[in-house]
């Protein structure tokens, strides 16, 4: 049993709903009690969808449990098929139905419909939302495509060259309740098209079962979101020889790497290599002198695996930040996140507990947090600027404007979204120059109006007492005065480093000189 | 009532389960914690309905059952023990801990009553444990509050004192208004259940006169009756009419002259009527369709028809307790169509056929209906807003007139919504 006050992911059947709601001509009969319909509002309220998710809830009640719940399931399946006339039917159960073991999938298969039926077994007590979405997408592709296995030849990614047409790829993984998927798809299609590559099918977002059955018309698969599509891509590779991409085109470097990967898999020469560097404003904006101030900004990153890993790379290599914390709630992506963290000489935070993330954030004393909506709230409490980079979805993460994360425009969006919560370089410089003028109160932060910093402040006598008690060290007047001159957003770090230094050297009193000694020691 | 058209419907429902009422109960009693014993779905439901992220640590959470808990029941009890111990050491300010049963805990027959009893012994004098079920297989939306209140009744002490007990969660400002009015009427001892602090439970007995503020408290009323309380029958205090009759019923029970009631509430009534005017202008003659959710539907229909002059197409309700709702049903216009239960698809067919001007529905349905060009008001707002009493009548009407007014401002009818 796990105490949960708030969770990053929903149950696996919500993942299945994401796939069903993303697609056309699909219906999902979910054996579930009253109340599970709450999940509809994720789509209709958070994503402002003007359509109900294509889900029928069997709505069994306590009084049904003694009787024939199987009959109830069959009645709902029959009604759903007659009313919605889906081309493919998904059948599954939510957590409670799993316990009563009516096997709705098997029941549906015995009802004699002439449409493919996907029996979803999503263990609700051990798995979560992204896993459920991935499994559903995979089972759907498998059900629709399994007849073709061993019947068609392995797909040669170069075959387009002899058919006298442009190469074709599928974009797999974008779904509803995925972070900026709607716009990523447009961006990636545009980039591929410019490179002379056509999009065969985008799935699940906007696809129908008919589209799924023609996935094999493409030469390769582009795996946009491994959390959702990697299992499917792997199955398509195993059974049809379809290669798939492994680089996620978020950030300039990885967009270029991604384009290279696609070209090499398709054996398509890359002729515009030099042009690619200039497709986005990020490289120049990052190089322009105003951005000098971004150098070494301490950034804490937490999110789903894909976005957290991408964010770390962009932060470190494209914006010149220092990554001081990296983690994910996606257990399925833990290995990759750990590897990225190791490269950055960090230990990855793999947890589903937002309080642990908040603690880690506090300890890392970052100047910028890149996280989920929950980290935005934690950062707000700590007085640290934050940009949201990952699901779980919030109504703010579905902006009206075109706002991808991937590709060239994605890099532009990322530059703006991450840098604006920080103080602008010139502004920061001016404030630093004039901070001792009476007009500037300590704690003046950005034009976005964050709350005052919660980092230890020497004017706070209570905290001072606490430190004296705990560490048996004293800040002298000169030390204290010098500390107030340190910019407030790094003051906490400087203070704790200096104390650490003083303790390790057995220095009982911290003067201004000790502070500079410590500064030299740690730099 | 005999002239009403009462129907029952079964089928797939689009209604919240009883766990959802934790969202307002925890705000009413800030010293209480609600621990759902359930699944990840339960946790996700509550956080989706409540916008939990704004809290550093909310006063509700879920002990999520995992595979190993399902293997053997003894384990689950021990595990729950461990979770509760951790919780209490982390949150020493908790005075009452509600163990809330869910669909999965009910199906595996997790005995929360026994757990609560054991914990009560261990934490005697520090934390009190009560249990109830908010499961969707047994309760809808607001019934969760019924369960929570019912669970508190056995620990309420006896008294012979004369008092008026207001039963059902009220917004604090509304509660203060009501108490002031009752005091002016000459009823000096007025208490509320649930109280503002879980440790300040009212005492009850044969001289306790119970006046309901909410229509969804069937089980609570039954148990209060068993404890000897007298139940005052009245419509519910929504709108001027309902609130007036509600005050009158209370006054009658305390043998207070009807004229005195009218004298005290007359200024309130006349200013409420002025405030209502602008809303009535918008609502008059408009056709209303209420889908079942909050259990307030019958009272709302009565208010919106009798005071705001709307036409009622259909009044849905998750379930109908005819005894509790008798006074309300009597006030509805002849041949009002009431539908108890739901088959959401069939009901939506009727919505489309009847071409309503406004549909009251849950959040899952609102935007899809708007996309079809049908105006909606989502019902969950009714349980979060201060809508009770004469002074709030215009605020209540505003909840319904606003979407219509907005629709007059935004004229485009052919929006692309996908």
If residue B360 lies in a helix (H) or strand (E), which one and from where to where?
strand B358-361
Dihedral angle, C-alpha A180, A415, A328, A183, nearest 10 °: 10
3-state secondary structure of B391: coil
Model pLDDT, residue A426: 64
For A152-266, list the strands marked E by DSSP. 168-172, 198-203, 220-223, 243-244
Does B54 lie at the interface with A, CB-CB under 8 angstroms? Answer: yes
Q: Please count the helices (runs of H) and the strands (runs of E) in chain A.
A: 24, 16
Distances (CA, A) of B377 to A201, B248, B291, B361, B382: 38, 31, 10, 6, 10
Q: Residue B367 and residue A35: Cβ atoms within 8 Å?
A: no
How many contacts (CB atoms, under 8 Å) link A and B? 195
Answer yes or no: are the C-beta atoms of B398 and B381 closer than 8 Å: no
Cβ atoms of A88 and A119 within 8 Å: the answer is: no
Judge whether A68 counts as a catalytic residue: no
Show residues of chain A in contact with B82, CB under 8 Å.
1
| Contact status of B82 with chain A (Cβ, < 8 Å) | yes
| Gap from B94 CA to chain A (nearest CA, Å) | 15
The residue among B11, B18, B38, B44 with the most chain A CBs within 10 A of its CB, best to mutate, is B44
CB neighbourhood size of B353 (10 A) = 9
* Residues 127-166 (A) with a CB less than 8 A from some CB of B: 128
**Separation of alpha carbons A82 and A269, rounded Å:** 51
Q: Do A76 and B67 touch (CB under 8 A)?
A: no
pLDDT, greater one: A358 or B70: A358
Residue B43 touches chain A, beta carbons under 8 Å: yes
Residues of B in contact with A49 (CB under 8 A): 367-368, 417-418
Question: Is the Cβ pair B63, A355 closer than 8 Å?
Answer: no
Nearest Cα residue in chain A from B42: A36
Chain A residues within an 8 Å CB radius of B16:
35, 37-38
For residue B345 the two structure tokens come to 């698809």
Rounded-to-integer distance, Cα B398 and Cα B388, Å: 13
Q: pLDDT tens track of chain A, all 523 residues?
A: 999 999 999 999 999 999 999 999 999 999 999 999 999 999 999 999 999 999 999 999 998 887 889 999 999 999 999 999 999 999 999 999 999 999 999 999 999 999 999 999 999 999 999 999 999 999 999 999 999 998 988 999 999 999 999 999 999 999 999 999 999 999 999 999 999 999 999 999 999 999 999 999 999 999 999 999 999 999 999 999 999 999 999 999 999 999 999 999 999 999 999 999 899 999 999 999 989 889 999 999 999 999 999 999 999 999 999 999 999 999 999 999 999 999 999 999 999 999 999 999 999 999 999 999 999 999 988 989 999 999 999 999 999 999 999 999 999 999 999 999 887 666 766 776 666 665 555 555 544 444 444 444 444 444 444 444 445 788 999 899 888 887 766 777 788 889 989 988 888 899 988 888 888 888 7
In this structure, chain B runs to a length of 418
Angle at A66 between CA A60 and CA A69, to 5 degrees: 40
pLDDT value at position A453?
A: 42
Best residue in B81, B112, B137 to probe A by mutation, most A CBs within 10 Å?
A: B137
A385-398: buried (b, 16+ CB within 10 Å) or exposed (e) per residue? bbbbbbbbbeeebb
Question: Cβ A124–B40 below 8 Å, yes or no?
Answer: yes
Contact of A54 with B380, CB cutoff 8 Å: no
pLDDT tens, residue by residue, B374-409 = 999 988 888 888 999 999 999 999 999 999 999 888
Structure tokens at A405: 């994360």
pLDDT at A446: 47
What are the structure tokens assigned to B190, written together?
């007025």
User: Which pTM does this prediction carry?
Assistant: 0.91
Residue of A25, A40, A64, A290 marked catalytic: A290
Would you call A40 an interface residue with chain B, using a CB distance cutoff of 8 Å?
Answer: yes
Contact A33 B80 (CB under 8 A): no
Q: Which of B35, B41, B291 to mutate to test the interface with A (most CBs of A within 10 A)?
A: B41
Residues 385-404 of A with CB under 8 A from B: 394
The Cα B309–Cα B376 span in angstroms is 18
The reported pLDDT for the residue numbered B410 is: 84
Q: Where is pLDDT greater, at B347 or A473? A: B347
3-state SS string for A405-431: CEHHHHHHHHHHHHHCCCCCHHHHHHH
């Amino acid at each position: 049993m796990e105490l949960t006050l708030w969770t990053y992911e929903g149950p696996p059947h919500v993942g299945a709903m994401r796939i069903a709601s993303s697609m056309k001509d699909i219906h999902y009969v979910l054996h579930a009690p009253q109340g599970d319909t709450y999940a509809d509002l994720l789509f209709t309220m958070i994503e402002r969808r003007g359509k109900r998710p294509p889900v029928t809830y069997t709505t069994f009640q306590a009084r049904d449990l003694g009787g024939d719940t199987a009959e109830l399931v069959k009645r709902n399946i029959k009604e759903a098929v007659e009313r919605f006339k889906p081309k493919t039917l998904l059948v599954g159960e939510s957590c409670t139905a799993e316990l009563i073991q009516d096997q709705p999938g098997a029941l549906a298969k015995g009802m004699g419909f002439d449409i493919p039926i996907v029996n979803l077994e999503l263990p609700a007590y051990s798995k979560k939302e992204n896993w459920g979405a991935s499994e559903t997408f995979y089972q759907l592709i498998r059900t629709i495509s399994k007849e073709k296995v061993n019947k068609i030849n392995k797909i040669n990614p170069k075959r387009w060259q002899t058919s006298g047409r442009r190469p074709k790829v599928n974009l797999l993984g974008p779904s509803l309740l995925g972070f900026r998927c709607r716009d990523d798809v447009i961006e990636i299609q545009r980039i591929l098209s410019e490179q002379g590559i056509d999009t065969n099918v985008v799935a699940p977002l906007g696809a129908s079962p008919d589209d799924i059955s023609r996935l094999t018309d493409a030469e390769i698969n582009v795996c946009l979101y491994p959390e959702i599509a990697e299992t499917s891509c792997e199955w398509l590779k195993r059974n049809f020889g379809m290669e798939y991409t492994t680089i996620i085109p978020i950030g300039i470097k990885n967009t270029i790497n991604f384009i290279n990967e696609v070209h090499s898999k398709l054996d398509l020469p890359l002729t515009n290599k030099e042009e690619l560097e200039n497709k986005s404003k990020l490289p120049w904006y990052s190089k322009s002198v105003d951005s000098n101030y971004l150098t070494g900004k301490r950034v804490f990153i937490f999110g789903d695996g894909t976005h957290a890993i991408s964010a770390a790379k962009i932060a470190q290599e494209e914006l010149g930040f220092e990554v001081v914390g990296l983690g994910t709630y996606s257990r399925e992506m833990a290995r990759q996140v750990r590897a990225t963290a190791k490269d950055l000489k960090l230990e990855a935070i793999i947890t589903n507990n937002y309080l642990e993330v908040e603690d880690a954030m506090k300890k890392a004393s970052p100047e910028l947090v890149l996280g989920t909506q929950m980290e935005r709230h934690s950062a707000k409490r700590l007085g640290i600027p934050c940009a949201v980079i990952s699901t779980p979805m919030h109504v703010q993460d579905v902006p009206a404007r075109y706002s991808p994360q991937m590709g060239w425009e994605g890099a532009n969006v990322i530059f703006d979204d991450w840098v604006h919560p920080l103080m602008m370089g010139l502004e920061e410089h001016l404030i630093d120059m004039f901070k001792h003028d009476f007009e500037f109160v300590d704690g003046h932060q950005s034009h976005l109006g964050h709350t005052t910093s919660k980092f230890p402040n020497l004017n706070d006598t209570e905290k001072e007492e606490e430190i004296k008690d705990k560490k048996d060290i004293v800040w002298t007047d000169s030390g204290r005065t010098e500390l107030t001159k340190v910019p407030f957003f790094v003051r906490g770090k400087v203070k704790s480093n200096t104390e650490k230094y003083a303790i390790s050297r057995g220095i009982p009193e911290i003067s201004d000189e000790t502070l500079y000694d410590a500064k030299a020691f740690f730099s | 009532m005999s002239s009403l058209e009462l129907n029952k419907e079964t089928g797939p429902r689009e209604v919240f389960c009883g766990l959802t009422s934790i969202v307002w109960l925890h705000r009413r009693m800030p010293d209480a914690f609600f621990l759902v014993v359930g699944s990840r779905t339960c946790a996700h439901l509550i956080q989706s309905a409540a916008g939990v992220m704004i809290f550093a640590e909310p006063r509700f959470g879920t002990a999520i059952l995992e595979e190993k808990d399902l293997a053997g029941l003894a384990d689950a009890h021990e595990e729950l023990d461990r979770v509760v111990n951790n919780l209490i050491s982390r949150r020493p300010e908790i005075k009452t801990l509600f163990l809330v049963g869910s669909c999965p805990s009910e199906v595996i027959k997790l005995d929360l009553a026994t757990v609560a009893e054991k914990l009560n012994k261990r934490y005697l004098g520090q934390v009190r444990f009560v249990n109830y079920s908010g499961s969707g297989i047994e309760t809808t939306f607001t019934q969760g509050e019924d369960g929570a209140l019912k669970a508190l009744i056995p620990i309420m002490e006896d008294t012979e004192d004369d008092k008026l007990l207001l039963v059902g969660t009220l917004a604090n400002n509304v509660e203060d208004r009501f108490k002031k009015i009752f005091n002016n009427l000459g009823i000096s001892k007025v208490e509320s259940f649930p109280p503002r602090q879980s440790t300040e439970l009212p005492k009850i007995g044969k001289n306790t006169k119970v006046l309901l503020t909410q229509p969804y408290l069937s089980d609570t009323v039954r148990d209060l009756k068993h404890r000897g309380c007298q139940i005052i029958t009245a419509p519910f205090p929504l709108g001027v009419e309902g609130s007036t009759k509600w005050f009158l019923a209370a006054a009658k029970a305390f043998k207070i002259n009807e004229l005195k009631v009218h004298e005290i509430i007359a200024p309130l009534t006349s200013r409420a009527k002025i405030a209502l005017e602008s809303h009535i202008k918008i609502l008059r003659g408009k056709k209303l369709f209420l889908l079942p959710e909050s259990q307030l539907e019958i009272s709302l229909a009565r208010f919106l028809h009798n005071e705001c002059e709307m036409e009622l197409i259909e009044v849905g309700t998750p379930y109908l307790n005819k005894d509790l709702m008798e006074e309300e049903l009597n006030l509805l216009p002849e041949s009002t169509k009431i539908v108890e239960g739901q088959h959401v698809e069939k009901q939506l067919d009727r919505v489309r056929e009847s071409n309503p001007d406004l549909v009251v529905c849950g959040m899952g349905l609102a935007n899809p209906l708007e996309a079809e060009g049908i105006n909606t008001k989502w019902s969950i707002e009714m349980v979060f807003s201060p809508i009770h009493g004469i002074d709030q009548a215009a605020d209540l009407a505003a909840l319904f007139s606003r979407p219509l007014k907005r629709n007059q401002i935004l004229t485009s009818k052919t929006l692309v919504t996908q």
